[in-house]
C-alpha cells in the first residue's frame, strides 16, 4: 500500500505517519527527515540543502524527485510506504512514477500550524535550525503557493481524502483508517 500525507507544516503528518506505519506494517518516510540528514553531511549537496532549508525554501523539483526515487527503490519500500512531505509541487506529483493508493490531506489553518510549531519542545525541535519563525512562515507561504495545486491534482485524479487536521490525534487516525479499509479512491471531505 502506498500512502501520501499532505499538509502544512505542523498539520500532524509525522504523528499520523508513525501511527499508520505501526498499524499497517509499512515504513514511514519523511522527506523533511531525509533532507535534514543530508544537510548534516559535509558535502556540497549537504551545504546546499542546509542553506536552502534554513532559509525556508523548497529543494528544487529535479533534486527532490531524484532523492525520493532513490529512497523508494530500497528493499524496505517494496511492499509500500507512507510518504510525508512529498510531492510538494504539481510538477513533482506529475513526474512521480511510484504510484499511489491513498492521499490524505490533513487540513489545518495557518494560525493552528503556527501555534503548534511555536510550542514544539524537546526531541521534536532538536537540531531543527529550519524551525525559526521566519523559515516557518516562508514554508507556510510556499505551501499555499506550491502545494495547494498538488491537492487539486490528486482531487482531480480521485485519490484525495481531506481530513480535519484540527481534530484529536485519535479521531484523525480513525478517519484515515476508515478510508483505507473502505478502499474507495474517491474524493471525500471529512
Give dist(CA 139, CA 70) in Å, integer.
24
Q: Is the pLDDT of residue 68 over 50?
A: yes
Q: How far is CA 11 from CA 25, 30, 77, 107, 188, in A?
A: 23, 14, 24, 7, 18
Q: Predicted confidence band at 85 (pLDDT cuts at 50, 70, 90)?
A: confident
Number of separate domains in the chain: 1
The set of cell numbers assigned to 168 is 484529536
The pLDDT assigned to 120 comes to: 61
CB neighbour list of residue 16: distance below 8 Å, 6 or more residues apart: 5, 104, 106, 169, 172, 173, 176
Q: Predicted confidence band at 3 (pLDDT cuts at 50, 70, 90)?
A: very high
Output the domain CATH number for residue 81: 3.40.50.300
The pLDDT assigned to 123 comes to: 43
Name which residue leads in pLDDT, 140 or 26. Answer: 26
Query: For 163, how many CA atoms within 13 A lie in the half-sphere containing its CB?
Result: 31
Task: Give the gyration radius of the chain's Cα atoms.
Answer: 16
The pLDDT assigned to 140 comes to: 84
Q: Is the pLDDT of residue 188 over 70?
A: no
CB 110 within 8 A of CB 8: yes
The set of cell numbers assigned to 186 is 474517491
The pLDDT assigned to 131 comes to: 64
The pLDDT assigned to 99 comes to: 80
Encode pLDDT of 149-178 as tens digits: 999 999 999 999 999 999 999 999 999 999
In DSSP notation, 72-133 reads HTSGGGTT-EEEES---SHHHHHH--S--SEEEEEE--HHHHHHHHHT--GGGTTT-GGGSH
Give dist(CA 127, CA 156) in Å, integer.
38
Closest CA to 71 of 106, 53, 96, 54: 96
Residues in the chain: 190
Give dist(CA 121, CA 40) in Å, integer.
21
pTM: 0.81
Region of residue 109 (phi > 0: left; psi between -120 and 50: alpha; otherwise: beta):
beta
The set of cell numbers assigned to 58 is 523548497
Domain extent, residue 83, equals 2-189
Give dist(CA 61, CA 90) in Å, integer.
10
Encode pLDDT of 94-150 as tens digits: 999 878 999 999 999 988 888 887 776 444 544 455 567 777 787 788 888 888 999
The pLDDT assigned to 37 comes to: 86
Q: Is the pLDDT of residue 185 over 50?
A: no
Amino acid at each position: 500500500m502506498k500512502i501520501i500525507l499532505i499538509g502544512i507544516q505542523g498539520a500532524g503528518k509525522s504523528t499520523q505517519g508513525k501511527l499508520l506505519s505501526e498499524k499497517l506494517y509499512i515504513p514511514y518516510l519523511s522527506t523533511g527527515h531525509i533532507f535534514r540528514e543530508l544537510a548534516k553531511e559535509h558535502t556540497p549537496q549537504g551545504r546546499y540543502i542546509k542553506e536552502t532549508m534554513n532559509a525556508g525554501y523548497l529543494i528544487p523539483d529535479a533534486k527532490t524527485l531524484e532523492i525520493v526515487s532513490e529512497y523508494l527503490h530500497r528493499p524496505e519500500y517494496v511492499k509500500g510506504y507512507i510518504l510525508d512531505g512529498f510531492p510538494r509541487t504539481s510538477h513533482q506529483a506529475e513526474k512521480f512514477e511510484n504510484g499511489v493508493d491513498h492521499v490524505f490531506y490533513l487540513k489545518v489553518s495557518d494560525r493552528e500550524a503556527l501555534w503548534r510549531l511555536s510550542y514544539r519542545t524537546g526531541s521534536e525541535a532538536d537540531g531543527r535550525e529550519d524551525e525559526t519563525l521566519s523559515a516557518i512562515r516562508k514554508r507556510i507561504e510556499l505551501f499555499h503557493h506550491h502545494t495547494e495545486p498538488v491537492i487539486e491534482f490528486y482531487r482531480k485524479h480521485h485519490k484525495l481524502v481531506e481530513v480535519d487536521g484540527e481534530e484529536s490525534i485519535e479521531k484523525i487516525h480513525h478517519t484515515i483508517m476508515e478510508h483505507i479499509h473502505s478502499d474507495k479512491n474517491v474524493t471525500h471531505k471529512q
